[in-house]
Amino acid sequence: LGEVENFQQIEDDGYFGKPEKYDYSEVKLPEKYGYDEILLNEFNELAGKYNLSQKSANELMSMAVKLTQLTDENILKAQEEQHRQTIENYKRTLINDREIGGANFEKTMKTANIAYTQFADDEVQELLQKTGLNCHPQVVKMFYNIGLKMQNDVIYGANAAAVQKENREDILFPTM
């Protein structure tokens, strides 16, 4: 008999009694959050099926918003941790690389930084740092190889004999 009394008390508290239309304007959404119309319609059908009042639907919607927000935060934390671990793996692989790591690491980084500072503008450097690709062994190898080719002002692949044959006048005034 006590259960029947409790049910009557819940009913009297306004938890049941489907409204004509559900309105969630009282539910506080976090910034940049919005309702998905399809899911909202499904929720409304479910709330109607169980004869929930606007008060009950608002409480459930508020809980769903909290759960969604917490889930989003947890996903973001997991992504950040995964990104941190990826960068750490890049660093370990770079340091342990037989060609450019180990005893060669310091020399490699100095040579790579010559090309990095010369060719990677601020935006590229920021992009590489944000993504962690500035520590990726293949990216470091690329800058290292460019840095090697830059040493002693030698242009890789240039035909020195062809460059020496032409003088400034021939280049500027080819028909004279």
> Which pLDDT score is estimated for 167?
59
The model's pTM is 0.63
Q: Token pair of 16, please?
A: 């049941």
> Which pLDDT score is estimated for 39?
94
Look at 46 and 13; give whichever has higher pLDDT.
46
pLDDT of 6 > 80? The answer is: no
> Which pLDDT score is estimated for 63?
96
16, 43, 53, 69 from 23: Cα distances, Å: 15, 12, 11, 21
pLDDT of 8 > 90? The answer is: no
CA angle 110, 112, 116 (to 5 degrees): 115
Question: Which range is least confidently modeled, 75-79, 91-95, 162-166?
Answer: 162-166
Which runs of consecutive H residues, i.e. helices, occur in the chain?
2-12, 37-49, 54-96, 105-119, 122-131, 137-150, 160-165, 168-172
> Which pLDDT score is estimated for 163?
45
* Mean pLDDT, the chain, whole residue set: 86
pLDDT above 90: percentage of residues in the chain: 76
Q: Token pair of 98, please?
A: 């037989």
**Cα(176)–Cα(171) distance, integer angstroms:** 10
pLDDT (average), residues 13-23: 89
